Amino acid sequence: MSIGLLKTFYGSHRWTKCRNAYFVAVYGLCEKCGAPGEIVHHKEPICLNDLKHNIDKVFGWDNLELVCRQCHELAHSKRIDGLTFDDNGDIVFVETAAQMDMKRDDE
Ligand SMILES: [Zn+2]
Ligand SMILES: [Zn+2]
């Protein structure tokens, strides 16, 4: 359920405006390697609670970073398991491959 709400957030008008403004402010280039930027990433990953109680972390430019797809995957693969990325944006929570294998075994 929480996954759906986060997806709704990433599709929201307010987030789209915020990320577009940030994109322009950093000249549309990846802040890590200088390649064309694709994803406005949250340096501190956000959760549903932040959408309600910590809106500065969600929309504050201090916590944003424009990155290319490669740098984005690198940024996440370093620290979080069970996450993947959707085509337009940021993190999506998924079951790990191991958990899915276990389920198949149960059936
Ligand atoms: Zn990059
Ligand atoms: Zn990210």
| pLDDT, tens only, 3-37 | 677 778 888 999 999 999 999 999 999 999 999 99
107 CA → ligand 1 middle, Å? 42
Ligand 2 center from residue 100 Cα (angstroms)? 23
pLDDT in tens, 44-77: 888 888 988 999 999 999 999 999 999 988 887 7
d(CA 37, CA 85): 15
pLDDT for the residue 45: 84
Model confidence band, residue 85 (pLDDT cutoffs 50, 70, 90): low
- CA 95 – CA 22 distance, rounded (Å): 31
Q: Which two tokens stand for residue 100?
A: 């899915």
- The pLDDT, as a whole number, for residue 47 is 82
Number of Cα atoms under 13 Å in the Cβ half of residue 48: 10
Q: How far is the CA of 76 from the centre of ligand 2 (A)?
A: 6
For 51, residues 6+ apart whose C-beta sits below 8 A from its C-beta are 5, 6, 9, 58
| Cα–ligand 2 centroid distance for 103 (angstroms) | 28
- 27 CA to middle of ligand 1, Å? 13
With a threshold of 0.85, does the pTM exceed it?
no
Q: What is the pLDDT of residue 76?
A: 77
Ligand nearest 68 Cα, by number?
A: 1
